[in-house]
Amino acid sequence: MIPVIVYDKNQCNPKKCTAKRMLKFGLAKKVNSIQNIPSGSIILSPFAKQALSPMDIEHARNGLVVVDMTWTNIDNFPRFQNTCRALPYLIASNPINWGRPMKLNSAEAVMASLIILNCKEQANEFIERFNWASEFVRLNGELLNIYAKAKNSTEIVYIQNEYLDRRMKDRSHIH
């Protein structure tokens, strides 16, 4: 079981906040400051230089940290010394950002991370708690399963780029 940790910046509507729901359902634990993030944890960051891969499982056993904040304030994302990883290309299924690439909410980010880390049973706990979660798996399932078979971050980025290149070629054939 991967310890899921929420560092909540308290920026979103509490009624729509997936981080608060993860906490409420016991899917995550909260930390109130950066100093309280367990050493060696993986911090999900859109600014990370490396993509999350199955190879990160050992670090994730120390904790998988999601920073809950709004996308409009993303430029104020805290800078960390810990191991930061970015998620590869995925499409949001949440009601606020449905269909938008890379605009995942906190629960989608954690669920995707757990699938990539091959912790599918733990990821399945989200499907029961978030009504959009099965749609997230429908939209991204094939890609997530391919990411979960990658050896490392470099291979994840390669898979992502190949996928995006194929999508661009498919779109250019339509027009």
130-160 confidence digits (pLDDT tens): 888 999 999 999 999 999 999 999 999 999 9
The pair of three-digit structure tokens given for residue 4, joined into one six-digit string: 């899921």
- Which pLDDT does position 95 carry in this prediction? 83
State the Cα–Cα distance between residues 69 and 85, nearest whole angstrom.
17
Mean pLDDT, the chain, rounded, equals 87
Alpha helices in 79-152 (DSSP H): 106-116, 120-129, 133-147
Model confidence band, residue 128 (pLDDT cutoffs 50, 70, 90)? confident
With a cut of 70, say whether residue 17 has pLDDT above it. yes
The pair of three-digit structure tokens given for residue 5, joined into one six-digit string: 């940790």
State the Cα–Cα distance between residues 161 and 44, nearest whole angstrom.
20
Residue with more model confidence, 74 or 122 = 122
Across 47-64, average pLDDT: 94
Share above pLDDT 70 across residues of the chain, in percent, rounded to a whole number: 87
Residue with more model confidence, 90 or 167 = 90
Across 117-129, average pLDDT: 92
